Amino acid sequence: MKISTLLIDLDDTVYPPTAEVWQLVMKRMYIYMRDYLGIPEDEVPAMRDRLFNRYGTTLRGLQIERGIDAKAYLDYVHDVDLSAILSPDTELRAALERIELPKIIFTNACESHAHNVLGLMELESCFNGIIDVVAVQPYCKPEPEAYQIALKLAGSPDPREVLMVDDRLENLAAAASLGMHTVLVSPLPQDGFRTIPRLALLPDLLGA
């Protein structure tokens, strides 16, 4: 497999789900939906799940159904202190430095959140850029249009030479439909997907 560019997801991919970063962000989503949109508290979890599953992100769903301001929402939900959860990951840093290819974060979160995560993990210098959910608006993963915009922002590499690394099957399936190679980061293997339990093992898969 010939690879010229890596697109790597952020949340639950760069760090493991056990870090529980998402749980903190989710709490902020619930508060935003309750306090800023007036959604009854007992209805918030089910509504958030519905929006996420239908539109790919809660943000996209709230934009379509409630017309919210994306920046205000993203600033609010990602305003969390992660310093007690995330710390420098020297193993992952060394692994990423072994891969002598352009590596770009492609996330459904916002750029400031990506900088926050990568900064705490001391990984920012390992990546050549960040493509966040704002950059691909009005789309988001797993919408094919989001990937097409991301490819242009990454310098228009041939999709057949791009490797997408993500923890969500639907995101990888969309990438594969455009011709990209895929790697799933998951403790459990999935049929049809090359799988690694953590991102630090990616160089071994690539022979780097």
76-89: average pLDDT:
95
Average pLDDT, the chain: 95
Query: What is the model's pLDDT at position 1?
Result: 79
pLDDT 10s digits, 89-108:
999 999 999 999 999 999 99
pLDDT 10s digits, 111-161:
999 999 999 999 999 999 999 999 999 899 999 999 999 999 999 999 999
The tokens 């929006």 sit on which residue? 51
Distance (Å) of CA 138 to CA 55, 56, 64, 78: 11, 12, 10, 19
DSSP state of 123: -
DSSP state of 111: H
| Helices 58-66/44-55 angle, 10° precision | 100
The tokens 């969500």 sit on which residue? 168
pLDDT 10s digits, 157-173:
999 999 999 999 999 99
Write 183-186 long-range contacts (CB < 8 A, 24+): 185/9, 185/12, 185/13
Q: Decide if pLDDT at 57 tops 90.
A: no
Structure tokens at 30: 């619930």
8 Å CB contact between 8 and 165: yes
Query: What is the model's pLDDT at position 171?
Result: 96
d(CA 116, CA 78): 9
List of domains in the chain = 5-16+87-206 (3.40.50.1000), 21-77 (1.10.150.450)
d(CA 172, CA 111): 21
Q: Decide if pLDDT at 2 tops 80.
A: yes
Q: Decide if pLDDT at 208 tops 80.
A: no
Of 18, 80, 22, 71, nearest to 48 (Cα)?
Answer: 22
